[in-house]
Chain A
Amino acid sequence: MDNQVIIDRPLKIVVASGKGGTGKTSVAVNMALACDRDISLLDCDVEAPNSHLFFQNNDNLENNCHDEFFDSIEEFSVSVPEFNDNLCNGCGFCKTICKFNAITMILNKPLFFTELCHSCEACFKICAMGAITPVKKMIGKIRRKKINDKLSLTDGILNVSEAKSPPLIKKIIKTYAGKGLCIIDAPPGTSCPVVAASYSADYAILVTEPTPFGLSDLKLAVDTLRQLKIKFGVVINKYDGDFGKVKKYCEDEKIELLGIIPFDIKIAQIYSKGGIIVNELPFMRDLFSKILEKALSEAVK
């Protein structure tokens, strides 16, 4: 394709949004397929990864885990402390150092709650008695699939009932971003998982919709990215002829508008069957490709 931005270093583009359901995954997947580039697509929405749904046969959706679709699956573990009460002298330093309040002292012995632990490993290091040892806790899986010669998909899936996804998200990005172009499909919201998916990115594409909810959550996402000092632009999805206040907000804040995706019944029908928009509506290929190229040209600036 003409006017392709030249990439001479590893580049990470994160697709994020404050609000859920604005079209992060649709944008990430369709951009990845619209352009003629080698791409590593990382689905970091590890509580509900769904990028793979667009690459597989969706005739049978009974099992929503779809492990069989992937070429390889590895388990992911974090370290949590194990306490030996016989060695403990009851000093309580482990309780004091724990910023996550996962340890309390009961009758001079530590009582630990693994669901509150963030695996920071501070307690292992502070204990002078050797009463705390690290043990592995499996919290999820990393799954990989080669989609075609140019595109590889990696996703993470957090075990049900696990609350802390950032270690898994960071591991996926660190290990599988690759040396070329990487597109990260972030979780929704603006909390720790989104920061984990975004903090190392060169550029962020914020997908929003022209509704009051879309705008409200876009503002939160903008605040987050500004604090992280990550450059970003906005894609308005589901545009039905009325921008609401979203376009004016972007203009007032001098935010780059990367593209506008129409609110179109055909797109909704393709999406609902797990189809690829740029394959079934070839004229959309140009739109998604332009969004990515615009983002890349800003990213390499």
Chain B
Amino acid sequence: MKIAVTSTGASIDSTVDERFGRARYIVIYDTEGKSFETIDNETHVNLSQGAGIQTAGSMAEKKVDVVLTGRVGPKASEALNKAKIKYVEGISGTCRSAVEKYSSAS
């Protein structure tokens, strides 16, 4: 399973970025390989509009299963649903603790 966490920094120990579409980085943790990769989301941070759906498109491209973030807007939500990607809102703290909590709960 691939768990994506929106992040303020490039490391899994960085703080969660509570914005989805305009998150600075996205940390993707692979529970099978127990490895993580980081996507630089800079191109979407300053878009005048459509940041949420474009970031959702990136998640679909990376074949992510679930997104952990602060808040997903209505259009990004529609795009994630279309891509059959689950998401959990209200996440804060570090990306590592978010991933650990989600893994142990699921």
Contact = CB atoms under 8 A, between A and B. Distances in A.
A is bound by B: yes
A107 B50 contact: no
Interface string A107-135: 10001010110000000000000000000
A235 to B, nearest CB: 32
Given A111-B79, A111-B82, A106 B56 contact: yes
A101 B61 contact: no
Interface range, B side: 10 to 19
A102 B50 CA distance: 6
Given A106-B83, A113-B75, A100 B50 contact: yes
B88 interface: no
A110 to B, nearest CB: 10
A104 B79 contact: yes
A104 B57 CA distance: 6
A106 B57 contact: yes
Given A95-B57, A107-B60, A116 B83 contact: no
A113 B53 contact: yes
Contacts of A105: 57, 60-61
A100 B57 contact: no
Contact of A101 (B49, B60, B78): B49
Nearest to B84: A107
A100 B75 CA distance: 14
B54 interface: yes
A162 to B, nearest CB: 15
Contacts of B47: 101
Contacts, number: 44
A107 B61 CA distance: 7
B51 interface: yes
A101 B83 contact: no
Contact of A100 (B49, B56, B60, B83): B49
Identify the interface centre among A95, A101, A102, A116: most chain B CB within 10 Å of its CB.
A101
Given A111-B79, A111-B82, A113-B75, A106 B50 contact: no
B77 to A, nearest CB: 12
Interface string A154-169: 0000000000000000
Contacts of A104: 50, 53-54, 56-57, 60, 79
B49 A116 contact: yes
A116 B50 contact: yes
Contacts of A95: 57
Given A106-B60, A107-B60, A101 B50 contact: yes
B51 A101 contact: yes
A113 B83 CA distance: 15
Contacts of B79: 104, 106, 111
Contacts of A100: 48-50
Interface in B68-106: 75, 78-79, 82-83
Identify the interface centre among B47, B51, B53: most chain A CB within 10 Å of its CB.
B53
Contacts of A101: 47, 49-51, 53-54
Closest 6 CB pairs of A and B: A101-B50, A104-B57, A104-B53, A106-B83, A106-B60, A106-B82
Interface of B: 47-51, 53-54, 56-57, 60-61, 75, 78-79, 82-83
Interface of A: 95, 100-102, 104-107, 111, 113, 115-116
8 contacts: A95-B57, A101-B49, A104-B50, A104-B57, A106-B82, A111-B53, A111-B79, A113-B75
Given A105-B57, A111-B82, A116-B75, 8 more contacts: A95-B57, A101-B50, A101-B51, A101-B53, A101-B54, A105-B61, A106-B56, A106-B82
